[in-house]
Structure 1
Amino acid sequence: MSAKISLCVIAKNEEQNIRRCLDSVKKAVDEIIVVDTGSTDDTASIALACGAKVYHFPWNGNFSDARNASLDHAGGDWVLYLDADEELAGEESRGGLRRAVKDDSVEGYFLKIINYLGAEGHIESHQDVVFRLFRNRREYRFQGAIHEQVAEAIKEKNVSAVFRLAEGVLINHYGYLDSSVDSRDKINRNLGIIAKEMEREPGSRELRFYCGVELYRAGRYIEAARELSVAAEGIDVDTIYLPKLVRYIIMAYQAAGEPEKALRTALGSMDFFPYYADLYYYAGRMYMELKNYVSARDYLLKSVSMPEQPAHYASFNGVRGFRSYYHLGEIMEEFFNSSEALKFYLASFRDNPDFTPALRKIVHLLEPRRNTERARKYLQQFSFCTPRANMLAGELLFRQGAYGIALEYFQKAGENQGATSEPQLWVAACHIQERRYKKSLRILKSFKPGNRLYPRVLMNKILACWLHSDARQVQALAEEMAACGVSEDMKNVAGILAYAPEKGNRLNRLLPGQEGRELLLDIVTRLLGMNETDRALCLLYSLDPASLSGLLLDMARIFHEYDQGVGVINLLKQKTTDSEDGETHFLIAEILREAGKCLEAGLHYRRAGELDPGVSRYYLRQNHLYRHRWEQLLQEARHKYPDDENLKKLGEGVTAH
């Protein structure tokens, strides 16, 4: 007769998660026990509908008590316990569970778990192992008010108990996602429980570790680093959670803005964990923050060379792949090595096609506006087979001013999605960029008030009419926008387009919000993409100086990208008289260099290096400039004095180098 499995879950206000959890174990367990600790939502009724036996247990601030209450009701030979925000992953896991309980020599199993954390669009993951499956015996009960454990209790009662890793069984855990954490205030609850337990056991390293983790999740990074460091002092190097503890110390120092301490921790831990990829990855990241790009490159390359990581290291996804490759690409860009940067970004994207920052960098380096056909052919090697992927590719191309190719991807994304979908809005924007204003307005007209995209639709209508020099319609649309409840930033940008038609007509309209800044930068980019330089300058000069100061460097970078940097160089020079920084001097130098004013460019490169000596690209570009100028002068001299032996020797040296 096959062994029976009982699933035991404790839950409170988990109506958003409980069905997913219980549905995932169907055909894998023989009974489902749910202990509700005081829900005020539909958790209990949903569990009943899923076939669970539901019992109620008053919450007393102790997780072990609630877990043990669920064990009291379990009738199976084995107990699998999950949290409501977890699920058993797929048919293979269900089969693996059934195979595991057939082994008479095993008393309990560790299962692999993938923890997901972050927010929509920026979800991270890392793998760990947890003890979740064990024989149902009366003497096996949970211990600890929080981060409750049963494995140690089993060993206390049965010193010969055998534990193994259950092959092919995987749990997905979603409780660390920002939405889940925020909705239940789990962090403050956990910290309160831990504080009480630490009063009873002040010497517990494990409690300090859990406290440090919760402090880190709460954004209290200095406190987290302090608690975690205390927990690590004098710890046995064989402690199962030590690799995770070390990584959390590094992450806490990094988040607290102390990269030197984070780096020392990473480097010092390599003696104990020489093959722990996360240590090399974070060492590389810290060297990047400290602008030591050579060392950063070396450690990131070591990270990708590390072997498969042990499950208890809980290594972050991508440190041996796409994350390290991405940062290596960034380093190559610092060295002005675009071809190597492109190779690393491509490796990053191939390792994880959902990692959109790598694709964004690839599209940027391809320069699709200048090299349209090359970009089209290069991108054909990627599989953009979903509407979302096609829309992303289209948006990235649009941002680079490659409107023709962008339109192709938007049209693929918009197929069968309706006339008022986001892809259609982008299609309309592409038509504006191609000066097909009437066609664009026909598409935009299909969007009605109440559509979530309507504010952006109005902004595109305003831009189309402004470019078409229809001032009356621009003002009417700006008034409609002001009346439909959009943000102050959107109203201000619409007002600038409506009431600042001529260069020099400054408006006292401050734009402190991020949305307003992004809108203006987007409009200027689109204007320059249409060769509407005068209109872009008109928009720039219409801003109040207080608004302009916070936008100027980003605006100037866009002008430079579109080979129009000379138009804003005086504004940049004025900025350096008010407040100097390395990036502004560097951008001035770049514009002057491209304009052939090498001597003046050299002065600004030098000043950039003086203001921020840690940025290697300032010196690299200055060195390239001087070397190029030296080669030009030498060539001119050899042409004028072809028989001069000293000039010949100098020429041979340059060629050999």
Structure 2
Amino acid sequence: MPPLDLTLCMIVKNEEEHLAKCLDSVRDLVSEIIIGDTGSTDQTMDIALAYGARVIPLKWNDDFAEARNKTLDQATRSWILVLDADEAADMWDADVVSKLLVSDERIAGYFVPLISFYGDFNEEDYFTDAVCRLFRNHPQIRFKGAIHENAADSVLELTRRPIPYAPLQIKHYGYLQSEIERKNKHRRNLELIESSLNKDPFNPQLRYALGTEFYQESKFNESLRHLMAVIEQNPASGYMSDVFLKAAFALNVTGQCELSEYVTDMGLASHPGFTDLLEFKGLLKAQKKDFEQAHEWMMKAAEQGKADPRYSSSSGCGTYRTHWLSGRICEKMLQTGRAAVHYMHALYLNPDYHPAWADALHLSLLEQNSGHFKEWIHTLQKPVSKKQQNLLVSAALNAGREDWLDVIAEMPDLGKTRQVWIEMMRQYAPQPGNSLYSELLKASARWPDDAIWISYLWVSAWKAGDREAADRAAEQLKTIHSPLVPVHAFLSGQGNISLPEPVALTALQLFLQCRAYAQIHQLLKELYKQTSSAHPLPSSVIAGLLSAPAYVLTKWCLDWLPASPPPQRSPSLEEILLYTSFALRCSSSSCLDDALRLLVDYADNPYALAASAVCLTEKAKHRHSMSVMSGIQLPKLLRAATLRI
């Protein structure tokens, strides 16, 4: 098909990194390219000329609309497409575009969904918006606004009818962190918006733009000053859905929870079916511990599905992210079966969604039933990613699950080093004594500088009770600047050393994978020195701790909290639930009594009440030989109590 009756209009400055990709995406569609250059000093103009573009120099007057309109003035084709250099047409079909250009004389322009990626580049992290970038070459259709300029208003003024949506997409890379830092966009935008607001202080679009700039910098109080003002003005504009969503979130973050819910309800009243607000309403209900209502709102979002193109939306809302959140809410209600279904649904919709991977795996490990998850891995239509593989290996080793290690061993691209290491851990880690250290020492000659081998050699030396070997391995840790060096000093009793939580947790997992039980409990007590932990123990760690032999669990329980004298600190609920789980596994009646006494301090917490019921049921079974069944499993209750939504 020959090029269409379509002109591409752009404004650029120093865009040599992106321009070719943008022009490649439309070179077979457009018959004319007009590029306004506002002062490039790199190879931008050479690239533009190589694609046959007509380049016109533009004086930059801090006004995007002015610059864009000068390129529109040069267009000679019947229709105009506007792109930025950091954008690209997403595999547009020429036949589809051609039909749009000749479909209806009353149509003067189209909204096109804009997919903006953010953070570090990841196809999973994006938000959507609708922009009027495809419109007729008409003298009355021009951009308005010095920044966040739009042509939609002039199209509406010309036609007096709603602007239809085109079945096309534009991908936008300008919100990636690297691009924001490279162009210093935030500072530039603030200066332009504030300058424009000085001339037009009540302009709602400019106030929305300024509120958005502060929002993206996490300056939520400053953002709310402008977003709430726009809500009061309530202009009839397509960006209002985004105003309600950003304002509701900012209010919640700043502790104004009731007002946040009020604004959410306002937004839903004026934008029914706005998926992101439906999901956010569910999160607000979960925040209030009203999990039944939270799940209902999540289901409304899931039923709505992917947001209507006229609403700003974020990746996964109404689809995989909503189902993942629904799974967490079900776990909070101790409905683990329903939670597993939601996690699997999320993975069906997006097999690469890591949060659902992690939760599905950890929940199955606590249930001691990973059959469904293993089946899922075997039926995947694509290979397991490196990130997922790392998660599986770590979780399987933490929990001591040989069946999972069997699955991992069958994975392609596992790597020879990892294959040998996993097989050695599977064979020798469960054995007491120095067998693991001896085998690792033999194998380490093949990988003398490998951080993994050095770390596990050090851990296995501690397990073997060989302090000289542990000291030698610690010297090697110093040469690779390992964060485990202070852990060695801590275990050696070298002064009053307090370990940072991330370091203690990393070390705990390494010792757990090697089944070095004496050091595990030292590190566990160190983690719980403070009454609250910033990060709950991973479920795979809990599963691994609970797999320890009964005599080990009994020793841990007795060492944790003697009946007298009274404890010098108040244990956190997480800590109490963990040791109560130990007591149930090893049938320690005295520790159950201690747990019941401590759980009284958390009488208002539903998970503490449920744990008390489990303890009392267990005591009844022991003391009266009663066949009492409890439907609550403490490990899953512990996970639910510490799970964050």
- Asked if residue 622 in structure 1 is aligned to residue 606 in structure 2, the reply is no
Task: Note the alpha carbon deviations across 1:614-634, whole angstroms, 9 max, x for none.
Answer: x43222333444466568878
In the alignment, residue 607 of structure 1 is paired with which amino acid? D
Q: CA deviation at 1:65?
A: 2.4
- Asked if residue 327 in structure 1 is aligned to residue 311 in structure 2, the reply is no
The number of aligned residues is 607
Alpha-carbon separation, structure 2, partners of 1:257 and 1:286: 12
Alpha-carbon separation, structure 1, partners of 2:137 and 2:257: 48
Describe the shift of the 1:491–1:140 C-alpha distance in structure 2 as closer, same or farther (beyond 3 A).
same
Alpha-carbon separation, structure 1, partners of 2:149 and 2:535: 55
Q: Aligned residue for 2:458?
A: 462
In the alignment, residue 284 of structure 2 is paired with which amino acid? M
Task: Note the alpha carbon deviations across 1:395-418, whole angstroms, 9 max, x for none.
Answer: 443444325533643662426xx6
Q: Aligned residue for 1:649?
A: none
- The SS at the match of 2:314 is coil
Q: CA deviation at 1:81?
A: 0.9
Alpha-carbon separation, structure 2, partners of 1:547 and 1:334: 24
Note if contact 1:429-1:440 (Cα within 8 Å) is conserved in structure 2: no
Q: Aligned residue for 1:165?
A: 165
319-328 or 374-383, which deviates more? 374-383
Describe the shift of the 1:518–1:352 C-alpha distance in structure 2 as closer, same or farther (beyond 3 A).
same
Alpha-carbon separation, structure 1, partners of 2:611 and 2:264: 32
Q: Aligned residue for 2:643?
A: none
Q: Aligned residue for 1:650?
A: none
Describe the shift of the 1:432–1:21 C-alpha distance in structure 2 as closer, same or farther (beyond 3 A).
same
Q: Aligned residue for 2:404?
A: 405
- Asked if residue 292 in structure 1 is aligned to residue 279 in structure 2, the reply is no
Describe the shift of the 1:463–1:17 C-alpha distance in structure 2 as closer, same or farther (beyond 3 A).
farther
In the alignment, residue 611 of structure 2 is paired with which amino acid? R
Q: Aligned residue for 1:434?
A: 427
Alpha-carbon separation, structure 1, partners of 2:468 and 2:619: 53
Alpha-carbon separation, structure 1, partners of 2:282 and 2:215: 21
64-73 or 396-405, which deviates more? 396-405
In the alignment, residue 612 of structure 2 is paired with which amino acid? Q
Q: Aligned residue for 2:640?
A: none
Q: Aligned residue for 1:512?
A: 500
- Asked if residue 316 in structure 1 is aligned to residue 314 in structure 2, the reply is yes
Note if contact 2:110-2:134 (Cα within 8 Å) is conserved in structure 1: yes
- Asked if residue 534 in structure 1 is aligned to residue 521 in structure 2, the reply is no
Describe the shift of the 1:439–1:601 C-alpha distance in structure 2 as closer, same or farther (beyond 3 A).
closer
Q: Aligned residue for 1:181?
A: 180
Q: CA deviation at 1:27?
A: 0.9
Task: Note the alpha carbon deviations across 1:97-131, whole angstroms, 9 max, x for none.
Answer: 23322336132221122222333569423333210
In the alignment, residue 601 of structure 1 is paired with which amino acid? A
Q: CA deviation at 1:49?
A: 4.5
In the alignment, residue 144 of structure 1 is paired with which amino acid? G
Alpha-carbon separation, structure 1, partners of 2:68 and 2:141: 11
In the alignment, residue 186 of structure 1 is paired with which amino acid? K
In the alignment, residue 474 of structure 2 is paired with which amino acid? A
- Asked if residue 583 in structure 1 is aligned to residue 567 in structure 2, the reply is no
Q: Aligned residue for 2:82?
A: 81
Alpha-carbon separation, structure 2, partners of 1:353 and 1:296: 25
Q: CA deviation at 1:346?
A: 1.6
566-575 or 294-303, which deviates more? 566-575
- The SS at the match of 1:30 is strand
Alpha-carbon separation, structure 2, partners of 1:221 and 1:599: 47
Alpha-carbon separation, structure 2, partners of 1:596 and 1:409: 36
Query: Percent identity among equivalent residues?
Result: 23
Q: Aligned residue for 2:238?
A: 240
Describe the shift of the 1:195–1:381 C-alpha distance in structure 2 as closer, same or farther (beyond 3 A).
same
| Structure-to-structure mapping, 1:590-629, within 5 angstroms | 590-594=581-585, 595-597=587-589, 598-609=592-603, 613=604, 615-626=605-616
Alpha-carbon separation, structure 2, partners of 1:632 and 1:79: 80
Q: Aligned residue for 1:642?
A: none
Alpha-carbon separation, structure 2, partners of 1:215 and 1:438: 58
Q: CA deviation at 1:250?
A: 1.4
| Structure-to-structure mapping, 1:159-308, within 5 angstroms | 159=159, 163-167=163-167, 169-236=168-235, 238-306=236-304
- The SS at the match of 1:110 is strand
Note if contact 1:425-1:444 (Cα within 8 Å) is conserved in structure 2: no
Q: CA deviation at 1:312?
A: 1.2
Note if contact 2:227-2:247 (Cα within 8 Å) is conserved in structure 1: yes
Q: CA deviation at 1:228?
A: 0.8
Question: In angstroms, what is the RMSD of aligned CA positions?
Answer: 3.9
Q: Aligned residue for 1:482?
A: 478
Q: 523, 531, 535: which is aligned to 2:510?
A: 523
In the alignment, residue 4 of structure 1 is paired with which amino acid? D
- The SS at the match of 2:284 is helix
Alpha-carbon separation, structure 1, partners of 2:48 and 2:499: 50
Note if contact 1:329-1:342 (Cα within 8 Å) is conserved in structure 2: yes
Note if contact 2:399-2:542 (Cα within 8 Å) is conserved in structure 1: no
Note if contact 1:582-1:607 (Cα within 8 Å) is conserved in structure 2: no
Q: Aligned residue for 1:118?
A: 119
Describe the shift of the 1:437–1:380 C-alpha distance in structure 2 as closer, same or farther (beyond 3 A).
farther
Task: Note the alpha carbon deviations across 1:403-453, whole angstroms, 9 max, x for none.
Answer: 5533643662426xx65xxxx44752552353266776687666586xxxx
Alpha-carbon separation, structure 2, partners of 1:636 and 1:469: 44
- The SS at the match of 2:202 is coil
In the alignment, residue 285 of structure 1 is paired with which amino acid? L
Alpha-carbon separation, structure 2, partners of 1:369 and 1:635: 26
Alpha-carbon separation, structure 2, partners of 1:506 and 1:243: 59
Q: Which segments of 5 or more consecutive residues in structure 2 lack a partner in the other structure?
A: 429-435, 629-645
Describe the shift of the 1:42–1:472 C-alpha distance in structure 2 as closer, same or farther (beyond 3 A).
farther
Note if contact 2:4-2:29 (Cα within 8 Å) is conserved in structure 1: no
In the alignment, residue 587 of structure 1 is paired with which amino acid? L
- The SS at the match of 1:164 is coil
Describe the shift of the 1:200–1:290 C-alpha distance in structure 2 as closer, same or farther (beyond 3 A).
same
- The SS at the match of 2:598 is helix
Q: CA deviation at 1:558?
A: 7.1
Q: CA deviation at 1:3?
A: 4.4
Alpha-carbon separation, structure 1, partners of 2:61 and 2:444: 58
Describe the shift of the 1:68–1:372 C-alpha distance in structure 2 as closer, same or farther (beyond 3 A).
closer
- The SS at the match of 2:261 is helix
- The SS at the match of 2:222 is helix
Give TM-score scaled by structure 1 length. 0.80
Note if contact 2:366-2:543 (Cα within 8 Å) is conserved in structure 1: no
Q: CA deviation at 1:231?
A: 0.7
Task: Note the alpha carbon deviations across 1:54-109, whole angstroms, 9 max, x for none.
Answer: 444343321112212333443433221112221111143x4422332233613222
Describe the shift of the 1:159–1:28 C-alpha distance in structure 2 as closer, same or farther (beyond 3 A).
closer
Q: CA deviation at 1:387?
A: 4.8
Q: Aligned residue for 2:631?
A: none
Q: Aligned residue for 1:643?
A: none
Task: Note the alpha carbon deviations across 1:347-379, whole angstroms, 9 max, x for none.
Answer: 222222121111211111222895576764464
Alpha-carbon separation, structure 2, partners of 1:330 and 1:463: 34
Note if contact 1:428-1:439 (Cα within 8 Å) is conserved in structure 2: no
- The SS at the match of 1:101 is helix
Note if contact 2:621-2:627 (Cα within 8 Å) is conserved in structure 1: no
- The SS at the match of 2:313 is coil
Alpha-carbon separation, structure 2, partners of 1:586 and 1:47: 65
311-320 or 434-443, which deviates more? 434-443
- The SS at the match of 1:192 is helix
Alpha-carbon separation, structure 2, partners of 1:404 and 1:632: 33
In the alignment, residue 191 of structure 1 is paired with which amino acid? L
